[in-house]
Amino acid sequence: MTSTTPQGERIAKRMARAGRASRREAERLIGEGRVRVNGKSIDSPALNVTAADRIEVDGIPLAAAEAPRMWRYYKPVGLVTSERDEKGRPTVFDRLPEDLPRVLSVGRLDLNSEGLLLLTNDGELKRKLELPSTGWTRKYRVRAKGNPTEQTLKPLERGIVIDGEKFRPMSISIDRVQGANCWLTIGLKEGKNREIRRALNEVGLDVNRLIRVSYGPFQLGEMKDGEVEEIRGKILRDQLGIKAEPQAVQRAKQAGEPYKRAANPSKSLRKRK
């Protein structure tokens, strides 16, 4: 077993780069004694490993770390953004195409929200893009019951405290009022659990549809429910300064477009009207 020296990289980071888990999840697996290095069980993530080390998780050899790849996915309403749900509800990962490699979600969208969800095979990239310090704006189109004015929304633009939890300032524009509902465009730098729904409810608006339309430079565009599209290698290099997985780039060049397909129709939810 390798020792805790500067050589190599931390085992949790190595597991994250292989797409097996996020770094935090990797540390949990290690703490539960489910990880073995060179045939020996470990119980602490304070260990550096190199390419020469043999790593197993639940008895399965850890895959070689690939270059980072990313996909855009239109998450439909009715899916939980987690690998497993204790209530038995369908998850995002139950509905992804079977030929997609193991992926992790960048951030979350709640059960009743839809729109752009970024997926990656690299746990370190996931962690980086979720950090508030990355500074990326998440934009949403929101339909809510009510007829707000700019004055109504001022508290949210300044930042608001709800049940002792502080929400950072939001950017909000009123797009149109349609009958009893209004359409808003909202931008966040850091998304907390059900933040938009809770914040709008605080000023008397009841959200009945929420669509994420962008995450930093990545846009939902004209994607449809359940559709998955791999982000081109050039875009990854330009936006993130990383290289795409060579085989994926080669396949995209041969096809003349990025990896793009809808989820298995037999697995898809009925499209929301």
Measured between alpha carbons, how far is residue 145 from residues 77, 142, 155, 201, 241 in Å?
Answer: 19, 10, 18, 10, 42
Q: Has 58 been annotated as catalytic? A: no
Q: Which of 43, 58, 94, 110 is catalytic?
A: 110
Tokens of 207: 């959200």
Instruction: Kindly list the catalytic residues.
Output: 110
